[in-house]
Structure formats: C-alpha cells, structure tokens
C-alpha cells in the first residue's frame, strides 16, 4: 500500500526586515525566534499544525531576490504577507510588491493572510490606521482575505495565525 502525504504550501513573503523568518521560527517552536540574519535564499520548512502538514516557503525580501518569487509560488495554497507596521515610509513599496505577486494569473483565488506585524512596538501601533487604509480589500481583488495583528513578543498572535492557516485548509 502506498501512502500519499499531502503538505499544504504557505508562501510567506514581505519586504526585507518585516519579520517573516522570526514568525516562521516561532511556528517551528525555535528558541530565540527573533534572532535571525537576513534571508538570502528561500528557506523551506515543514510544520505540523493541528495534525495538518504544511511546507512553509520563507521568501527573501530584499529587492535583488524578489524576481525569484514568481517561479516559487507554484503550488501555493496560502499567501501570507508580512507588513512591518513600524516602517510607514515603505508601505507603498510593500503594496506594489504584494500587488505584483497577487496579480499573476496563476495566483488568482489563492487565499491571503495579511499580517500587520510588530504590533508590540508603540510607534508601530499608530501606523495601523494608515496601513489598513492602504491595504484595503478593494486592492486585493476577489480572493479570500484575512487580516491579523501579529508580534513575536505575543505568542498568542502567532497561535491565531496558525489556527487561521488550519481553518483555511479545512474550509477548502
């Protein structure tokens, strides 16, 4: 008897220094999740969340690597975009990057989880209204869309993120 194991692909993306790898490290239950260096190649890790197997692709966010995103979104079931809310001067850049990836024909209808990240930082919190205005549903086309406020300093927010991944897959 051959047993096939289905792993659901999450494509974790955002600008450089947005906190993608730190979130992934918390999902993987690593100590010191925020102790990271810049991601310079796709980091691909398995995670089991509530008995569902995921493969999480942590995309490098620097400009020189973003052109590789398109080829690596194939087979994605969930996009997870991380926005560093403490850098409002980069919101326009982040919006353009997100729209580029979502506007690819093969990425139509893939659910999007949008994380307003680093919510624990007081200066960042004041940027939430501006970020929510800029990243509104109209700009995200016709797709399942979920917003979360996350912080690696608040593990409950990452648990909510994990629960959302599971719910999206279970609802398919």
Residue 146 within a domain: yes
Residue 1 within a domain: no
Please state the pTM of the whole predicted model: 0.94
Residue 50 within a domain: yes
- Find the domain containing 90 and state its range: 8-170
Residue 129 within a domain: yes
Residue 22 within a domain: yes
* CB contact at 8 A, 84 and 15: yes
Residue 2 within a domain: no
Query: Residue 22's closest CA among 151, 162, 156?
Result: 151
Structure tokens given for 82 = 């991380």
pLDDT digits (tens, 9 = 90+) for 72-107: 999 999 999 999 999 999 999 999 999 999 989 999
Q: How many separate domains does the chain show?
A: 1
So what's the pLDDT on residue 4?
Answer: 62
Does 17 have pLDDT greater than 80? Answer: yes
The domain that holds 116 is classified in CATH as 3.40.50.300
pLDDT digits (tens, 9 = 90+) for 18-70: 999 999 999 998 877 777 888 999 999 999 999 999 999 999 999 999 999 99
């Amino acid at each position: 008897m051959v047993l096939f194991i289905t792993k659901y692909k999450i494509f974790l993306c955002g600008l450089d220094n947005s906190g993608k790898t730190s979130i992934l490290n918390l999902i993987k239950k690593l100590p010191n999740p925020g102790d990271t260096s810049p991601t310079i190649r796709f980091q691909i890790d398995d995670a089991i969340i509530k008995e569902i197997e995921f493969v999480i692709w942590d995309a490098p966010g620097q400009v020189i690597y973003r052109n590789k995103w398109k080829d690596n979104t194939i087979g994605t079931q969930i996009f997870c975009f991380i926005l560093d809310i403490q850098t409002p001067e980069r919101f326009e850049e982040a919006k353009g990057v997100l729209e580029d990836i979502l506007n690819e024909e093969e990425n139509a209808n893939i659910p999007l989880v949008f994380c307003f990240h680093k919510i624990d930082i007081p200066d960042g919190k004041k940027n939430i209204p501006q970020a929510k205005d800029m990243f509104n549903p109209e700009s995200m086309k016709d797709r399942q869309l979920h917003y979360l406020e996350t912080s690696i300093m608040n593990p409950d927010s990452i648990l909510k993120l994990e629960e959302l991944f599971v719910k999206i897959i279970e609802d398919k």
